Amino acid sequence: MGIEELISKGESETLEFKERFDNETIETVSAFANTNGGAILIGVSDRGEIKGVKLGRESLRSWINKISQLTEPTIIPGIESYSLNDKTVVAINVKESPLKPVACKGICFLRVKNSNKKLTPKEISELYLQTIGSSWDAYIARDADLKDINYVKVDEYIKLANERSRRKVTEKPIEALKKLGLVKKDKPTWAAILLFGRETQRFLPQARIHCGRFKDETTIIDDELIEGEIIEQIDREMGNRYWEDDRCLQRTGLT
């Protein structure tokens, strides 16, 4: 696709227009590297007007150096100049980085539609875990020990698995947990605490279900906070039945 045709399509998740090279350009480089890659056209206005840019002898090399210095992990983009209507337009081509997140001066961005979104610490962690093909619950639970596992629940799981699965679980509870990747280096993972923890909320206070019964859009007439390990929470919540009458939505099991 030619540059003029590219400009005619307007800014998008993979295309940005800049009238000049500046620090925001480098932010877009990091955003593209953290998303699906893209191109930045220098010398083009937000409306797609070709303004052109003046280049010195070392301008392009200087831009590449600045990008590489201000990004971490280092990004070295492809860069080309084009002549359109006797004006110079520069295309900075950025590939998606295999190592994420890429930061610009210590700040990480993600490309969302035609703008750059600053990532929160939580989003940065999730992006990193996606990159290495893992998730937070696969990591060892901080301050937890094997004594924090409810082995009665593990035995119930093994019994149920043997009744319903073709593959039988023959290992003892602790060995079964190790085989499932729920115990690593003789420590429970966050997943183990979620599934079989004695006091799940002591380690993960946010791991709970809060249910409410509403008379209308703003009036709460009953609520319940469901705690315990995640399987118990789901069982208790799925056991609650809802029906609708002329006045409100009600839930059985609540007084």
Residues 81 and 21 in one domain: yes
Flag whether 137 is in a domain: no
Of residues 29, 19, 108, 115, the one with CA closest to residue 67: 29
Residues 9 and 116 in one domain: yes
Count of domains observed in the chain: 3
Name the residue range of residue 91's domain. 3-131
The SS3 assignment for 105 reads coil
Peptide bond before 101: cis, by omega within 30 degrees of 0?
yes
Closest CA to 73 of 102, 116, 39, 114: 102
Query: 109 and 199: one domain?
Result: no
Per-residue pLDDT of the chain in tens (255 residues, 90 and over written 9): 689 999 999 999 999 999 999 999 999 999 999 999 999 999 999 999 999 999 999 999 999 999 999 999 999 999 999 999 899 999 999 999 988 999 999 999 999 999 999 999 999 998 988 887 777 788 899 889 999 999 999 999 999 989 887 778 889 999 999 999 999 999 999 999 999 999 999 888 888 887 777 888 778 787 778 888 888 888 877 765 443 443 333 333 332
The DSSP secondary-structure symbol of 24 reads H
The whole-angstrom separation of Cα 73 and Cα 76 is 10
Domain boundary among 131, 162, 187: 131
Whole-number Å distance between alpha carbons of 100 and 78 = 19
